[in-house]
Chain A
Amino acid sequence: MSSETTPTSGPVKSTGLHLGDAEPGCRKVDPILVADGVTRTFGGLKAVDVAHVEIPRGAITALIGPNGAGKTTFFNLLTGFDKPDSGTWQFDGRSLAHVPAYRVARMGLIRTFQLTKSLGLLSVLDNMKLGAKDQTGENLFRSLLPFLWRKQEQEIEAKAVELLTRFKLDAKQHDYAASLSGGQRKLLEMARALMSDPTLVMLDEPMAGVNPALTQSLLDHILDLKTQGMTVLFVEHDMHMVRHIADWVVVMAEGRIVAEGDPHSVMQDQAVIDAYLGAHHDTDLGAAHTSNVEAVKELIDDEQ
Chain B
Amino acid sequence: MIDWGSIFSNAAVELISPTTAAYALAALGLAVHFGYTGLLNFGQAGFMAIGAYGYAISVLTFGFPVWGAVLVGIGASIVFALILGIPTLRLRADYLAIVTIAAAEIVRLLFTTNTFVAVTGSANGLSEYKGGFRALNPLSFEGKAGFGPWMFSANDWWNIIVGWSVVILAVLFTWLLMRSPWGRVIKGIREDEDAVRALGKNVYSYKMQSLIIGGVFGTLAGMIFIMPRAVIPSAYATSLTFFIWAILLLGGAATILGPVLGSIVFWVLLSFFSGFIARAVEAGWFPISEVQAGQLRFILVGVAIMLLVIFRPQGLLGNKKEMSFVK
Contact = CB atoms under 8 A, between A and B. Distances in A.
Interface of A: 79, 81, 100-103, 105-106, 110-113, 117-122, 126-127, 129-131, 133, 135-140, 143-144, 146, 149, 153, 176, 178-179, 192-193, 195-196
A102 B202 contact: yes
A143 B198 contact: no
Given A130-B188, A138-B182, 5 more contacts: A81-B194, A117-B192, A121-B322, A122-B191, A178-B325
Nearest to B177: A143
A179 B190 CA distance: 17
Interface in B144-182: 173, 176-177, 180-182
Contacts of A179: 325
A193 to B, nearest CB: 8
Nearest to A136: B181
B296 interface: no
B185 A130 contact: yes
Size category, B interface:
20 to 34
Interface string B189-201: 0111011111111
Nearest to A192: B199
A130 B190 CA distance: 13
Interface centre among B180, B183, B321 (most CB of A within 10 A): B180
Contacts of A79: 198
13 contacts: A102-B197, A102-B200, A105-B197, A113-B194, A119-B188, A126-B184, A137-B180, A138-B201, A140-B182, A143-B181, A143-B182, A144-B176, A144-B177
A196 B181 contact: no
Interface centre among B173, B180, B182, B198 (most CB of A within 10 A): B198
B176 to A, nearest CB: 5
Interface string B299-325: 000000000000000000000011001
Nearest to B181: A137
Contact of A110 (B194, B199, B203): B199
Nearest to A110: B198
B184 A131 contact: no
A126 B221 CA distance: 32
A149 B179 CA distance: 12
B187 interface: yes
B198 to A, nearest CB: 5
Interface of B: 173, 176-177, 180-185, 187-188, 190-192, 194-203, 209, 254, 321-322, 325
Given A117-B192, A119-B192, A101 B321 contact: no
Contacts of A118: 192, 195
Contact of B181 (A102, A103, A110, A129): A129
B203 A102 contact: yes
Given A119-B187, A129-B181, A146-B180, A105 B195 contact: no
Given A101-B197, A121-B325, A135 B192 contact: no
Contacts of B322: 121, 176
Contacts of A139: 182
A91 to B, nearest CB: 14
A111 B325 contact: no
Given A129-B184, A138-B181, A101 B192 contact: no
Given A102-B197, A131-B199, A144-B176, A119 B321 contact: no
Contacts of B321: 176
B325 A105 contact: no
B200 A153 contact: no
B187 A122 contact: yes
A23 to B, nearest CB: 32
A147 to B, nearest CB: 12
A34 to B, nearest CB: 21
Nearest to B172: A144
Contact of A140 (B196, B199, B209, B325): B209
A109 to B, nearest CB: 10
A265 B98 CA distance: 55
A105 B181 contact: no
Contacts of B202: 100, 102
Nearest to A153: B181
A286 to B, nearest CB: 48
A138 B184 CA distance: 8
Nearest to B212: A140
A207 B203 CA distance: 28
